[in-house]
Amino acid sequence: MFHQLRNLMELMEMISKVQGADEEIAVHAVTVEDEFNGDKQTENMQKIADACQGVGIQFTWAYDTTGTKHDRDITTDTGWKIVLSRGLDIFQRFELNDAFNFANRLQEHRQCKEFNVTYVRMNPRDDKS
């Protein structure tokens, strides 16, 4: 759905804000194809990829066709898996078309739904820091 794509784009915006100037970030999303609006979903995913290319993020995606994908998580190359109970869909409904509503532009002004986040260390680093 569109609000889910917006949430994904906001995650890419946050990544662009914290990445180093010379740092190339790769993000690969796996999702299910919308059975009713797959063409529009693909078009929007490509728009996200195009936008990311201009800020040093290599964004790719794939559709899971096994029919078994349900978990929502982020796996990093630094050894962490972040399990998201609701995925990125944590915000209560807010007015997207109100340009003068702070909730429309700043996440900290949005009300959240109840959710859980679990951090799992996949392979601890060898360093002592």
Q: Which pLDDT score, from 0 to 100, does residue 125 have?
A: 60
In this structure, the answer to whether residues 79 and 45 fall within a common structural domain is no
Neighbours of 45 (CB within 10 A): 20
Entry pTM: 0.82
In this structure, the answer to whether residues 91 and 44 fall within a common structural domain is no
In this structure, the answer to whether residues 48 and 95 fall within a common structural domain is no
Looking at the structure of the chain, the number of domains it has is 2
Q: Which residue has the higher pLDDT, 23 or 8?
A: 8
Question: Would you say 48 and 9 are in contact if contact means Cβ atoms under 8 Å apart?
Answer: yes
In this structure, the answer to whether residues 92 and 116 fall within a common structural domain is yes
In this structure, the answer to whether residues 42 and 97 fall within a common structural domain is no
Residue 2 has pLDDT above 90, yes or no: no
In this structure, the answer to whether residues 39 and 57 fall within a common structural domain is yes
Per-residue pLDDT reduced to its tens digit, 13-31: 999 999 988 888 999 999 9
How large is the average pLDDT for residues 35-55? 95
Enclosing domain of residue 111:
71-129
In this structure, the answer to whether residues 109 and 76 fall within a common structural domain is yes
What tokens were used for 76? 């990093």
In this structure, the answer to whether residues 59 and 78 fall within a common structural domain is no
